[in-house]
Each structure stands twice: as structure tokens, then as C-alpha cells.
Amino acid sequence: MSDSVPYEITTHGAGDITLILSGRLDLARFGVLSPLIHTLFESYKPLKLDVDMTGIDYIDSTGALFIVKLEDEARARNVPFAVHGLSKEKMGILGLIDRQALTAPSLAPRERNLKIIEQLGNSTLEAFQDIYDIISFSGELIYELVRSSTHVRKVRWGDVVSYMKKVGVDGLPIVGLISFLLGLIMAFMSSLQLKQFGANIYVASLVAVAMIRELGPIMTAIIVAGRSGSAFAAEIGTMKVNEEVDALATMGFSPVRFLTVPKVIASLLTVPVLTIFSSIFAIMGGMIVGVVGLNLTIFTYVQQTMKAIAIFDVVSGLVKSVVFAITISAIGCQRGFKVRGGAEAVGNATTSAVVTSIFLIIVIDSTFAIILHYIH
């Protein structure tokens, strides 16, 4: 027994090892004892390990951590492990070590030096997990929407009206301004080419058809995703961090029914209306260019616009806007429910909600373009 190393290893038979510890098992001795774990199992290769702690005068949480790590290593190698010789009070110190916390991932950011194949694999797994989470949430949301349609009185209509104001009324100025400028720019750029052929009148047709069929619904959806989708994710994410969502579940409320359904209904009712206003403001912007720069009368411009628009175009644009509304509100809420952590996690969820919504908007619009091509 060395004065600086308070342990002794004895062997009994083939593979039976006894580790005898004495003195103080504390932080000062941990640096000496920690390498012992590797040495004990690699050099002695025990078939059974007993730890005799009769001679221990003092043990703190660091000493207890050494015993726990020794036991975990024995379990990993399927080596029978036993501790004896400690008083009841000192055995209580061993119970202070949280084994789950030892195996949990660290909250501190770690530098990851992964190879490109590993990064690709991890990204693929995360993508599939994300798709699974979205599908799972969509199923729950559809169930709650169907249930709400049969229990209309249980819908929180006060919240629906509040979200309609936030999504629709508060979003109308920015949607109107951007659509007006977009229509003005489209009319001006197209007029530079069309007036070379004396086809100024078709500027009205171009702006109307482009906005009502494609740009009106998609631009409105992108703006709503940036304003309202991010707000939904931030609101639910903050509630998740503050454990308000868990409180709702504890009280017997469905978080999806309580928080998501009013947002989805509000979006369904307001986004199609915003889409109509978007097309109207864009046509007004095009009219400014037609009247001021192309010498067209207001009557002529409106008449040509009406000729270019078909009922099918208006209906298809509104159907798109309905699908976009469901997608934006659902993704915003789903990202909010996935928040784990603090303020940084809320910010990440907000960003993810906007990016994912815009990506799905483009994908859905492309799908509609193919379907409508064969239908019409």
C-alpha cells in the first residue's frame, strides 16, 4: 500500500479480483484513482470484481462517481460486481449520483469533426425524422379539425377572430403594397417588349392572368408564412419553453385542439381573402402603368382584364390559397411544438417554420401547375 495511492489489488483463484480501498476517497484522490479503472480491466481481466471499502474514512460525491464508473465498466464487460464494507451513511453518498444524467448528452456545444459521409447520413436521418414528425402531426391535426367540425360550439371562436385579425387585417397593408408594386413592375417590364409590336393592350391580360393564376396566391402565401407562420411557431415555442403546453395536457386539454385548430381555421378564412386583395392591388398597379405610360383608358384596361380572366383561373387560385393556408399554419404550429430548450430553440423553430413553409409552398404550387395543366 503506497501512501499516495490508497488501494490494493488482490487475486483469489482464477479471475476473482478484490480491490481494497482505504483512506479518503475524495476529489484530491480522483486523479490517481481514475486511471485505475482502465488498468484494472485491461491488465487483470477480472471474471468477478469485489470492492472492499472497509478502510474508507471519508467519501464525497467525487469518490462516489469513481465507484459508479467502476460499476458501469463492469456491467459493460459482463463482470459480476459487488461493493461491501461501507456504513449506511456512506452508502447514501453513492445514491447522490444521477446515472441518467451521466449518460445524457451534454448541453454544451461540441465541436463535431465528422466526415462528409457521416454528415450526409445524419442529415438524411434528420430529414426522415422530420418527415415522420410532420406526417404524425398532420394526422393529429386532421383528427382535431374533423372533431371540431362536429363540435362547433367547442371551438374557441374568440381566438379564431383574434388570429383572423392578426393574419388578415394586420397583414393586408404589406400584402397590398407588395402586390401593387409587383403589378406595376410586371406591367412596366412587359410594356417595354409589347409596345414594339403595338400590343400595349395585352399588358392588362398578362398582369391579370399571372397574378390570379400564380403570383397572387404564391406571393400572399410567402408573406403570410413570414409574418404569421413565424409568429405561430414563436408563440407555441415560448409556451413550450415555459411548460404551458405541458400544463394544458396535465389539465386534460389537447394542445393541438386548444392551440392549433383556431390558428388553422383563422388562416383558412383569411388567406383566400388576402389572395383576392393581392390580385386586385396588382391589377391596380398595372393599370397605373397602362394609363400613364401606354395611353390606355381605365375602361379599356378593365375590359381587357375581364376578358383575360376565366372562372377556372379564379377558382384554382383560391383552392391554392386554401392549401397554402393549411400548410403555413400547420407547419408553424408543428415547429413550435418541437421546441426543446430556451430562447435559442425558439429562434431556430421560427426560422425553420418560415423556411419549411416556403419550400412546401413552392412544391405544392408546382404540383398544382402539373395537375391544372391536365384538368383545364
Domain ranges in the chain are 7-103, 150-375
Q: Of the CATH numbers 3.30.750.24, 3.20.20.70, 3.40.1640.10, 1.20.140.10, which one belongs to the domain with range 7-103? A: 3.30.750.24
Could you tell me the pLDDT band of residue 6, with boundaries at 50, 70 and 90? Answer: low
Q: Does pTM surpass 0.75?
A: no
Mean pLDDT to the nearest integer, 288-306:
89
Instruction: Answer whether 233's CB lies under 8 Å from 332's CB.
Output: yes
Grid coordinates representing 308 are: 383575360
Q: What span, in angstroms and rounded, lies between the C-alpha atoms of 206 and 19?
A: 87
Burial class (CB in 10 A: 0-12, 13-18, 19+), 49: buried
- Express as a percent the part of the chain with pLDDT over 70: 92
Indicate the SS3 state at residue 56: strand
How high is the mean pLDDT of the chain?
85
Q: How far apart are CA 269 and CA 116, in angstroms?
A: 46
Helix ranges restricted to H, 195-260: 202-210, 216-224, 230-241, 244-250, 255
Angle formed at CA 326 by CA 281 and CA 271, multiple of 5 degrees: 20
Whether the per-residue pLDDT at 293 is higher than 90: the answer is no
> Of the spans 33-42, 197-206, 213-222, 334-343, which averages the highest pLDDT?
213-222
| Res. 85: pLDDT tops 60 | yes
- Inform me whether the pLDDT recorded for 5 exceeds 50: no
Whether the CB-CB separation of 289 and 206 falls below 8 Å is answered with no
Angle between helices 172-194 and 261-293 (to 10 degrees): 40
Is 233's pLDDT higher than 50? Answer: yes
Sheet (strand 7-12) strand order: 7-12, 16-25, 48-59, 81-84
Residue 155: pLDDT band (50, 70, 90) is confident
26: CB partners within 8 A, 6+ apart? 58, 59, 60, 62, 63
- The three cell numbers of residue 145 are 379539425
Higher pLDDT pick, 295 / 316:
316
d(CA 285, CA 280): 9
Whether the CB-CB separation of 211 and 279 falls below 8 Å is answered with: yes
The letter for the amino acid at 257 is R
Single-letter code of the amino acid located at 305: T
CA distances from 13 to 48, 81, 159, 176 (A): 10, 16, 76, 88
Confidence class for position 100, pLDDT limits 50, 70, 90: low
**Has residue 205 got a pLDDT over 60?**
yes
149 confidence band (pLDDT: 50, 70, 90):
confident
Amino acid (one-letter) located at 349:
A
pLDDT at 10: 80
